[in-house]
Homo-oligomer: A and B are copies of this chain.
Amino acid sequence: MNKARLSCLAVAIAAALATAFPAQAARQQQQQQQQQNTGTTAYRASVLHFTGDPSATQQSYEYYEDGVLLVGADGKVKAIGPANTVLSANQNAQVVDYRGRLIVPGFIDSHVHYPQTEMIGSFGEQLLEWLNTYTFPTEKQFGDKVYARGVAKTFVKELVKNGTTTALVMATVHPESVDALFEEAATRNMRLIAGKVMMDRNAPGYLLDTPQTSYADSKALIQRWHKRGRALYAVTPRFAPTSSPEQLTLAGKLLQEYPDVYMHTHLSENKGEIAWVQELFPSSTGYLDVYNSFGLSGKHSVYAHGVHLRDDEFASLARTGSAVAFCPTSNLFLGSGLFDLQAAEKHGVKVGLGTDVGAGTSFSALRTMGEAYKVIQLHKAFTDNPAEKKPLTALKSFYLSTLGAAKALDLDDRIGSFKAGNEADFVVLNPNATELLKFRSARATTLEEKLFVLQTLGDDRTVERTYIMGKPQ
């Protein structure tokens, strides 16, 4: 009898199990109680979070091997620390025992397309052909809100299953697609940033808006969703080739009118794309210059990919406080190229990791970290001085999926770490989730080694439980 079949039977046999296995039942009961509880909860596990960038500072994290994450009734972090200290100072707290597991802040996906959930693993093309062959026909259906809501449900479920508690999401050109996603995220009180794609040229007619409708629709969505619950809005021109100068001008206008909304687009993913941008905007000095010239850069701006950025472009991103989403599985899958994280670091550009589903091949932050490592390693094959190319440490990749991404999204005052007062989005990782992971984890001694094993061998099974604002999902 295999796991998949057992899983289908889970509901039916839960009651029987509770009788047969009192320890399991106790934990379950504990969790149910805690969901109803109005008090403080102490999650006991190994607890890790970051306080700074591991590439930039010596002491970048706090780690308690036998630790506690203390969460208040308001779903916010009260404290973290050694189990004994925190527990004895909080004797009324309800204890949830996750010993043997690792608790880290919920993962943040810095770039993902929810409508592409159903086209993950589409064969054979690079960016521009891939958009025409697969993406545009898929996105056509999202004018139907019922349809969009169905996919949004699967998407949000996959995020949660993979421990992702916040994502910066591209919807489609249809306002309905944004409503569907935010409504679905609201059912879980999830902090999501999303926006309607603005696209008025170089795509099939059925997906085009106009500068005016894109402005009006985006504005209405901002008013409807931005800061409603935990929702945040991103002005979302797809990428320079599919927006006229008029549309980009209006995107800039929206950012001026609503200075705290986000800007989310693509940048320098593929060489053919870069050449096309130069044709379309002949007076620009480069791809990023197009966005800069319309006022789209800034500390709430996130550019996906940036695989082929020049030094002066990295410097410009740093100057404007704009961030880049590094999407390794996508860059490999579309054959786009190798993101130069070391250059981004040198210039002080903010970076977060992104899955970029559906060009990315996995919703798993852990698998994305594993692939990020490979992308960075592969730089060594294309240089005469491989020793100059530093490997991506596991501390850094966990940082890039938590605090680093929160900084990229200018949300580090609320998520990405266990700073007191932050929203308690967190993940319980099980280093024994599969037989191989257990076998290998037993041989890992340092924290860094344990994290590296988790990101190399881990997947959705490693995520034992995801919590959003203190609530188990």
Contacts and interface: CB of A to CB of B under 8 A. Distances in A.
Nearest to A444: B121
B13 A126 contact: no
Contact of A337 (B158, B381, B432): B381
A378 interface: yes
Nearest to A129: B387
29 contacts: A1-B24, A2-B464, A2-B465, A3-B6, A3-B7, A3-B461, A4-B461, A5-B24, A6-B6, A6-B7, A9-B24, A13-B13, A13-B16, A117-B439, A118-B440, A119-B443, A120-B436, A121-B457, A123-B393, A123-B448, A124-B393, A125-B391, A154-B436, A332-B378, A335-B377, A335-B378, A336-B381, A337-B381, A362-B457
The residue among A120, A393, A394 with the most chain B CB atoms within 10 A of its own CB is A120
The residue among A17, A379, A449 with the most chain B CB atoms within 10 A of its own CB is A17
A49 to B, nearest CB: 21
Contact of A123 (B125, B391, B457): B391
Interface in A49-107: none
Given A20-B12, A121-B457, A457-B361, A332 B3 contact: no
Oligomeric state, in copies: 2
Interface string A376-403: 0111111000100101011000000000
Contacts of A3: 3, 6-7, 10, 461
A398 B460 CA distance: 25
B28 A120 contact: no
**10 nearest A-B pairs in the assembled complex, by CB-CB distance:** A121-B456, A335-B377, A335-B380, A332-B374, A337-B381, A124-B391, A121-B453, A123-B452, A335-B378, A6-B6
A262 to B, nearest CB: 27
Given A439-B117, A459-B459, A380 B126 contact: yes
Interface in A116-166: 117-126, 154, 157-158, 161
Given A377-B332, A448-B123, A1 B10 contact: yes
A34 interface: no
The residue among A3, A9, A123 with the most chain B CB atoms within 10 A of its own CB is A123
Given A6-B10, A335-B377, 19 more contacts: A3-B7, A3-B10, A4-B430, A4-B432, A6-B6, A9-B17, A117-B436, A119-B443, A120-B436, A123-B452, A272-B386, A332-B375, A332-B378, A335-B374, A335-B379, A336-B381, A337-B382, A363-B436, A382-B382
Nearest to A384: B271
Contacts of A439: 117-118, 154
Given A12-B20, A17-B13, A117-B439, A4 B124 contact: no
Contact of A158 (B7, B391, B436): B436
Nearest to A330: B374
Contacts of A389: 335
A14 interface: yes
Contacts of A16: 13, 16
Interface in A342-383: 361-363, 370, 373-375, 377-382
A199 interface: no
A163 to B, nearest CB: 13
A287 interface: no
A456 to B, nearest CB: 3
A117 B439 CA distance: 9
A331 to B, nearest CB: 8
A101 to B, nearest CB: 11
A334 interface: yes
Nearest to A363: B436
Contacts of A257: none
